[in-house]
Amino acid sequence: MNREFDNHLSARSGALSVSKIREIAELGFDQPNVIPLWFGEGAWPSAENIVSSAVASLEAGDHFYQPNSGKMVLREEVVSYTNRIYNASIDVSNVTVTASGTQGLALVAQAIISPGDRVVVLEPGWPNISQTFEISGANIVTETLEVKDGHWHLDMSELLSALTPETQAVVLNSPNNPTGWVMSIEEQSTLLTHCRKYGIWIVSDDVYSRLYANGSAAPSFLSITNPDDLFISINSFSKAWSMTGWRLGWLIAPAQLESVLAMLTEFNIACPPGFIQQAGVVALRDGEDRLQALQDQLGQGYVLAASRLRNIRSVKFIESAGAFYCFFSVTGASDSMVLARNILQETGVGLAPGIAFGRAGEGYLRLCYAQPEDVLIEAFDRLEAFID
């Protein structure tokens, strides 16, 4: 963008930077024979019953505006799903339907952040979290996940000392994109006690909650919070129900926030589309078998990816406990953007550079293994030959 035009932009939009994942993907879009493992989405389409419910809903005339907080039938389905999976006790006043996790995140930032508010986030982390809060004027403070004994680890005492009484919010994402780190229920409980004491919002990005290696759902604040705690869960149909292109998600928040979120929805998008919401009802109500199949598929993908990466001598592999990524470093490679570009040019495998996830991600690469076995084998054959 030229400098003169920058003067006509808001300071906040002028300060935004292009996603480095996108930057690499732009280079490879037109390259023949690319295996794209750079984005966070699986290779599989949405379930047939989800598709047919949207089609049926359109054919039945669901063409009109919806309530700001979402269709009541979907909000009720979110309530029964949440209470069933997490042993929670929410009701519809806690549920707002959103047009994706990304849009839910933006609504949350608009609802609770004033310019200058201190917000603590974790790194490496999904870049949209800090960028979205920065757009609302937050002053972002970063706490770093570290590798300990081959696993990603969060130093809780450091996190708690960063959460001073003036802090407005802490934003977490567990299972974490890109590392696969998962926060234990004990850590969540310690954090909740601290945040209750100082009146700090906990915002939990739970979009990978059901993509958990050790069970059907990752440990969740939803199991230990009360509906009126300063706690917001951001969720999405994208990952666990293979619905990235539908743009549908939901928030669980204190009932006092319901009217605020409804107003913000009115001024941002008015409402998510009705026929898409109808598909969401079917996903939550009838989606468990398909979700189990996805979990099994991802389990196999992880075993394959882990064993192939461990075999590459210069790769430092780190265990992941959830989501669908391997986040690894390569000995001697300190510039992840250069490395991802070289790998793309030389092998045609598209990986995300670790620097896209913050400075703590530099030196790493992220690979999404949500692909069929033959695609992964081909990708690792190419990577192995190049890296070693």
Interface with ligand PLP by CB under 6 A: which residues?
A: 40, 100-102, 126, 173, 177, 205, 207, 236, 238, 244, 249
Q: Give the separation between CA 78 and CA 283, rounded to whole angstroms.
A: 10
Residue closer to ligand PLP by CB (options 132, 347) is 132
Q: Give the separation between CA 50 and CA 276, rounded to whole angstroms.
A: 9
Residue closer to ligand PLP by CB (options 312, 328) is 328
Which residues neighbour 214 within 8 Å (Cβ) at sequence distance 6 or greater? Answer: 321
- Residue 145 main-chain phi, psi, to 5 deg: -75, 140
> 143 pairs with which residues across the strands?
122
Name the minimum Å distance from CB 385 to ligand PLP: 29
Name the minimum Å distance from CB 325 to ligand PLP: 9
Residue closer to ligand PLP by CB (options 40, 350) is 40
Name the minimum Å distance from CB 370 to ligand PLP: 11
CA triple 199-201-205, angle to 5 deg = 160
- Tokens at 180, concatenated: 């696969």
Any idea of the CA torsion for 177, 68, 11, 14, to the nearest 10 degrees? Answer: 50
Name the minimum Å distance from CB 23 to ligand PLP: 16
Q: Is 296 exposed, middle or buried (0-12, 13-18, 19+ CB in 10 A)?
A: exposed
Name the minimum Å distance from CB 384 to ligand PLP: 27
Residue closer to ligand PLP by CB (options 100, 297) is 100
Residue closer to ligand PLP by CB (options 179, 278) is 179
Residue closer to ligand PLP by CB (options 238, 265) is 238
Residue closer to ligand PLP by CB (options 169, 207) is 207
Ramachandran quadrant class, 229 (left: phi over 0; alpha: psi -120 to 50; beta: rest)? beta
Q: Where are the alpha helices (DSSP H) in the chain?
A: 3-6, 11-14, 20-28, 48-59, 72-86, 101-112, 127-135, 156-162, 185-198, 258-268, 274-286, 288-310, 336-347, 373-387
Name the minimum Å distance from CB 238 to ligand PLP: 3
Residue closer to ligand PLP by CB (options 238, 320) is 238
Name the minimum Å distance from CB 174 to ligand PLP: 9
- Tokens at 90, concatenated: 């929410």
Name the minimum Å distance from CB 147 to ligand PLP: 20
Q: Give the separation between CA 9 and CA 16, rounded to whole angstroms.
A: 11
Name the minimum Å distance from CB 90 to ligand PLP: 20
Instruction: Report the Cα–Cα distance between both ends of the chain, in Å, rounded.
Output: 39
Residue closer to ligand PLP by CB (options 144, 342) is 144
Please state, in angstroms and as integers, the Cα–Cα distance from residue 149 to each residue in 252, 318, 331, 357, following that order: 35, 9, 18, 22
Please state, in angstroms and as integers, the Cα–Cα distance from residue 13 to each residue in 1, 16, 131, following that order: 12, 5, 10
